[in-house]
Amino acid sequence: MSRHKGRTRRGRLFAAALGVTVMAAAASVWTAQADSVGGAHTHVSAPDAQRQDQVKKVSEDIAHASDRGARGVNITIDDGPDPVWTPQVLRLLKENGVRATFCMVGTQAQAYPKLVKAVVADGHRLCDHTIAHNTSMDSRPESYQSQQILDAERMITKASGGVRPQYYRAPGGAFTPYSRKLAASRGMRPLGWNVDSKDFERPGADTMVATVKSEISNGPTILFHDAGGDRSQTLTALREVLPWLKQQGYSFGFPVR
């Protein structure tokens, strides 16, 4: 997957809007173990180490397709959960009978576990979107990538009450062979997108809707956000996009695993 345009600026905007900080590794109880990815040593929390044998490895290829086939669409919601916008997104999805994939930032999940549980209760799926939302992940050491992915996995799983994320989405699409292999070894399929609604830039709901309509032929996985600032335009766009997709004969599913 190619590098997302303007992702450095987007990363700065996200950090400024949410005040997300990287949690120090010393804040958690860690167990060092040799990782199967390239023979490197990574750090996972003790509970995760105990569950390692229960995790089923998935493909490390970046997923774009839908499990509903050629006329399937995957709605993906990034960067939350957020106490203002996530409940509104959930209500809108429920009103339209749509299930989505929520790519959550670990610290946000830890801060709002009730929202994580609400996402799961409504039948949506979870996705690991790291801790710091660093769009330069692909330029950082493997140890940093491991910490970002595995800490977020642990936080999301704990916040959900034990439901594990089924996907890993690199911030800004900054995947590396190492991060994809590591995520897959933890049962999280790397997740890309085909249509970027551009809602993070807040270009106006009409522009977002036009983008989705013109680019849906590129593939089924559509990117929206429920955090990182005012998401009112996203809600307005979704109110139009979801019924329109149904009218075009699309059904809503999840990314293939």
Kindly list the catalytic residues. 78, 225
- The 3 state secondary structure assigned to the chain is CCCCCCHHHHHHHHHHHHCCCCCCHHHCCEEEEECCCCCCEEEEEHHHHHHHHHCCCCCCCCECCECCHHHEEEEEEECCCCCCHHHHHHHHHHHCCCCCEEEECHHHHHHCHHHHHHHHHCCCEEEECCCCCCCCHHHCCHHHHHHHHHHHHHHHHHHHCCCCCCEECCHHHCCCHHHHHHHHHCCCEEECCCEECCHHHCCCHHHHHHHHHHHHHHCCEEEEECCCCCCHHHHHHHHHHHHHHHHCCCEEECECC
Cβ proximity of 189 and 59 under 8 Å: yes
114: Cβ contacts below 8 Å, ≥ 6 apart:
none
Phi, psi of 155, deg, nearest 5: -65, -45
